Structure 1
Amino acid sequence: MEQTWIILGASSTMARAFMQKLAEQGAGLILAGRRMDDLKTNASDALARGASMAEPIAFDARDPGTFQPVIDLALKQAGQINCAVFVGSMPPQEEIDADPAMLDGVIADSFTGPARFLQMLAPHLEARGSGSIVGVGSVAGDRGRIGNYVYGGAKGGFATYLSGLRNRLGREGVHVMTVKPGPVDTAMTQGMDDLPFMTTPDAVADDILAGLKRGKNVLYTRRIWWPIMTVIRAIPEPVFKKMSI
């Protein structure tokens, strides 16, 4: 079956790695994001790699007016529609502490914007009875930590949303997979010291494709984060709030 992928946040480094692998499989790509110059470059690259189509289109998680045109473009395509969400922002926690108004943008980028888009897309996938949704969250969403609790709270909310969406759409033949990366070598993590078990965008993309093939519901990448976060979630709150992790 012909595959069309909507990629939200398609100019990000992780999204680009995922897009390249889909292009090599001959998928059609709708590259949605804010930086149109980057999206056009990525579209040209995707076509050169074998994508059946690659269309750049404006999308801003903070502007719901940009959502419907992306969905309309997808609905014009034949075959199966899929969506991968790479949208998110993570300013330093101390900057948000100094300017609480920044919180709104982080939550819109990392949770409410993508969730609203998926809520609009969901009925169309239900009607078709097929498709996959990949929602990229973070291990930071598994438990609030002093160093990035606003970002973690947004990603935790998104993971809970995806869990409910999975329950809804799974009954209609649509697969929803939550991806929880640890630190990834991207612009978002540049300048951060002592990040454990760093992985690469290519490795994350490979893990996502393997997870889709296996029908995974929740995917930690690197895999070592699953036992680590299982332990961290089990730490009693009176102990955890005294820790600096």
Structure 2
Amino acid sequence: MTDTNTNQTWIILGASSTIAKAFTRSVAEQGAHVILAGRRMDDLKASADDATARGASAATPAIFDARVPDTFQAIIDLASAQSGTINCAVFVGSMPAQDAIDADPTLVDGTIADSFTGPARFLQMLAPVLIERGTGSVVGVGSVAGDRGRVGNYVYGAAKAGFATYLSGLRNALGRHGVHVLTVKPGPVDTVMTQGLGKQPFMTTADAVVQDIRKALQKKRNTLYTKWIWWPVMTIIKLIPEPIFKKMSI
């Protein structure tokens, strides 16, 4: 992981999510400055107070909406005003049920903006700042759903697939300037987003995902599947021939 001291700034996009809150607690306890970005200012302020109590050198709430690019630059300016290393963790995303999207195709636009195009545009705007500093980390949270289009959530999966491909290119570009980019592909995590899905295989917790992210940052990993079992599972799923895959219900 990057140096863990008060000279670290972490921009946390989607800071109200369950995993983001666990990640915030982790870096706050290491003394980092956290910029908590999201749509719910009351929740962000509460998280900022908690981060300060846990040891963050500073905690700043900021409005961010992946569908409103006008909210992006102010966050980048806040981070740029700090000395030291700038990092960014992206936990933004939305996952409407596929049958809801089938009934209302306008939901496609928001799903893709939340899970792909909004975060990608923000990171593209942040990239020159990271290149100038010549250090830092980007954590982009995708999903195993992006590894192959499945009948139950293919719009969400398409958005996460696009984001993963973007992160791969960003890793190639920023890696030449000393910036590490980690793509995280969780399976089902016990969060608000997954409530109502019923029992899911290999479900994990937000704290376990954060522990895995920290280890992957320390080792400068490119891609992280969490739980690890999803790597062989998804490798097999990607190898299933299309004629057979079309008949499956996964």
- Above 0.5 in TM-score? yes
The yes-or-no answer on 1:201 pairing with 2:206 is yes
Task: Map Cα deviations across residues 154-174 of structure 1 (whole Å, 9 max, x no partner).
Answer: 000000000000000001000
- Between the aligned partners of 1:70 and 1:238, the Cα distance in structure 2 is 47
Q: TM-score, normalised by structure 1?
A: 0.99
Scaled by the length of structure 2, the TM-score of the pair is 0.97
Structural mapping, 1:1-245, within 5 Å:
2-245=7-250
Q: Following TM superposition, by how much is the alpha carbon of 1:220 offset from its aligned partner in structure 2, in angstroms?
A: 0.4
How far residue 239 of structure 1 moved from its aligned partner, in angstroms, is: 0.7
Q: Output the CA distance in 2 between the equivalents of 1:58 and 1:4.
A: 17
The total of aligned residue pairs comes to 245
How far off its partner does 1:3 sit? 0.6
CA distance in 1, matches of 2:239, 2:82: 45
Q: Secondary structure at the match of 2:201?
A: coil
SS of the aligned residue for 1:151 comes to helix
**CA distance in 2: counterparts of 1:31 and 1:147, whole angstroms:** 32
CA distance in 2, matches of 1:55, 1:206: 24
SS of residue paired to 1:48: helix
Tell me how far 1:152 sits from its aligned partner.
Answer: 0.2
Please tell me the root mean square deviation across aligned C-alpha atoms, in Å: 0.6
Amino acid paired to 1:24 = E
**Which range moved further: 26-35 or 190-199?**
190-199
What is the Cα deviation at residue 193 of structure 1?
1.7
Q: Alignment partner of 1:172: what SS? A: coil
SS, match of residue 183 in structure 2: strand
Q: Deviations over 1:131-178 (max 9, x none)?
A: 100000000000000000000000000000000000000010000000
Letter in 2 for 1:201: A
2:104 partner amino acid: D
User: Which portions of structure 1, spanning 4 or more consecutive aligned residues, are displaced by more than 2 angstroms?
Assistant: none
Of all paired residues, the percent bearing the same amino acid is 73
Task: Please give the alpha-carbon distance, in whole angstroms, between the structure 2 residues aligned to 1:76 and 1:11.
Answer: 23
Gaps of 5+ in 2: none
- Give the C-alpha shift of residue 194 in structure 1: 3.0
- Equivalent AA in structure 1 for residue 155 of structure 2: V
1:34-70 CA deviation, whole Å, 9 max, x = no partner? 0111000000000000000100000000000000000
- Structure 1 gaps of 5+ residues are none
State how far apart, in whole Å, the 2-side matches of 1:114 and 1:14 are. 16
